[in-house]
């Protein structure tokens, strides 16, 4: 496998894998934040929101994936750095940050490898209703043929999480702690993941780097909750943010996303609209 090492970004080494292009892969970049913490950006996204991102954290006897891409090809790509580092007896975890297809469609790739899936408890209700029809609904929305959908998304088999949380939770895995924060707004099930050793926040869709947050899944109450979640993140010690979409960034994007949402609510209310 060929890869390109770019040294121009301070404190990060980027591996841009020139993999044989799969239609559902995108153009992924693996960012090595530390020996044990990786962010992956530029995974395939079939809608207009650009790429999808994910994360990987290694502990002594485990590997924790944060989201699994919109396609099974993306999930297989995420597995690749793990495969190289694992002995074979490690525990595998997959944290799903929320229920949207661009973060969960690859999940069966990890289930087949024995992953314990962790998500917000409200995901159960959603998956019970949607697991059998989510892929076909997306194929229809994208106006694709079934064949194209199968080729890009892969099989897509969605299953219920093995472990659910309903509030902030500290996971202790092999003595390492990772915080799962309940940060609703974009979605009711929205989680963010904080890795304290590198002070990395895997923010998922609480933060859209460089673009407008996608507000289409809620109304004024949810957008206000979203701002509260961002204000909370603002007070944390964070050095690197891996957003749900866009490039790795710093805390300035928290301020920009808050500003956007505040302006969005103001504009919405000044037009006398209510949602
Ligand atoms: Zn997303």
Least confident of 6-10, 82-86, 139-143: 6-10
pLDDT(139) > 90: yes
With 70 as the cut, is the pLDDT of residue 16 above it? no
CA of 176 to the centre of ligand 1 (A): 27
Mean pLDDT of the chain: 91
Residue 125 domain-assigned (yes or no):
yes
> pLDDT band at 269, cuts 50/70/90?
confident
- Residue range 157-167: mean pLDDT, rounded: 98
Question: Who's near 112: CB < 8 A, 6+ residues apart?
Answer: none
Q: What is the pTM of this model?
A: 0.91
Pairwise pLDDT comparison (17 vs 7), residue with the higher score: 17
What is the distance between the alpha carbons of residues 159 and 170, in angstroms, rounded to a whole number?
24
Residue 237 falls inside a structural domain: yes
In a domain, 261, yes or no: yes
Whether 275 maps to a domain, the answer reads: no
Query: How many other C-beta atoms can be found within 10 angstroms of the C-beta atom of residue 136?
Result: 12
Q: Is the pLDDT of residue 193 over 70?
A: yes
User: 91: CA distance to ligand 1 center in Å?
Assistant: 26
pLDDT the model gives residue 274: 61
Ligand 1 center from residue 273 Cα (angstroms): 25
CA of 28 to the centre of ligand 1 (A): 15
175 C-alpha to ligand 1 centroid (Å):
30
CATH number at residue 168: 3.60.15.10
**Exposure on the CB side of residue 115, measured as CA atoms within 13 A:** 27
Give the Å distance between the CA of 230 and the centre of ligand 1: 16
Contact assessment for residue 183 and residue 191, using Cβ atoms and an 8 Å cutoff: yes
Q: Which domain covers residue 102, as residue numbers?
A: 3-270
Residue 232 lies in a domain: yes
Contact 219, 268 (CB under 8 A): no
pLDDT per residue as tens digits for the range 194-238: 999 999 999 999 999 999 999 999 999 999 999 999 999 999 999
Q: Give the pLDDT band (50/70/90) at residue 23.
A: confident
| Of 174 and 138, more confident | 138
Higher-pLDDT residue of 3 and 174 is 174
Query: What torsion, rounded to 10 degrees, do the Cα atoms 29, 47, 69, 128 define?
Result: 170
pLDDT at 7 over 50: no
How many domains does the chain contain in total?
A: 1
> What is the pLDDT at residue 21?
74
Is residue 134 included in any domain, yes or no?
yes
pLDDT in the model for residue 49: 61
Chain segment 61-104, per-residue pLDDT in tens? 999 999 999 999 999 999 998 888 888 889 999 999 999 999 99
Ligand 1 centroid to Cα of residue 29, in Å, is 17
């Amino acid at each position: 496998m060929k890869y390109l090492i770019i040294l121009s970004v301070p404190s990060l080494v980027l591996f841009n894998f020139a993999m044989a292009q799969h239609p559902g892969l995108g153009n992924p970049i693996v960012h090595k934040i530390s020996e044990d913490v990786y962010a992956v950006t530029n995974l395939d996204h079939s809608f207009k929101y650009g790429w999808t991102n994910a994360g990987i954290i290694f502990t002594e006897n485990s590997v924790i994936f944060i989201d699994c891409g919109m396609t099974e090809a993306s999930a297989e790509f995420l597995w690749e750095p793990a495969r190289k580092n694992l002995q074979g007896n490690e525990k595998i975890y997959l944290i799903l940050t929320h229920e949207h297809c661009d973060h969960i469609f690859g999940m069966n790739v990890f289930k087949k490898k024995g992953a314990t899936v962790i998500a917000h408890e409200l995901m159960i209700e959603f998956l019970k209703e949607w697991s059998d029809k989510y892929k076909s609904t997306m194929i229809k929305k994208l106006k694709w043929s079934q064949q194209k959908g199968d080729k890009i998304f892969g099989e897509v088999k969605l299953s219920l999480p093995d472990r659910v949380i309903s509030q902030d939770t500290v996971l202790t895995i092999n003595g390492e702690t990772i915080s799962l924060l309940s940060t609703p707004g974009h979605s009711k099930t929205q989680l963010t993941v904080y890795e304290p050793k590198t002070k990395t926040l895997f923010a998922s869709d609480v933060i859209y780097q460089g673009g407008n947050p996608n507000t289409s899944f809620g109304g004024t109450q949810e957008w206000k909750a979203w701002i509260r979640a961002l204000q909370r993140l603002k007070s944390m010690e964070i050095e690197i943010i891996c957003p749900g979409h866009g490039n790795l960034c710093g805390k300035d994007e928290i301020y920009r996303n808050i500003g956007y949402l505040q302006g969005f609510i103001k504009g919405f209310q000044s037009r006398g609209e209510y949602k």
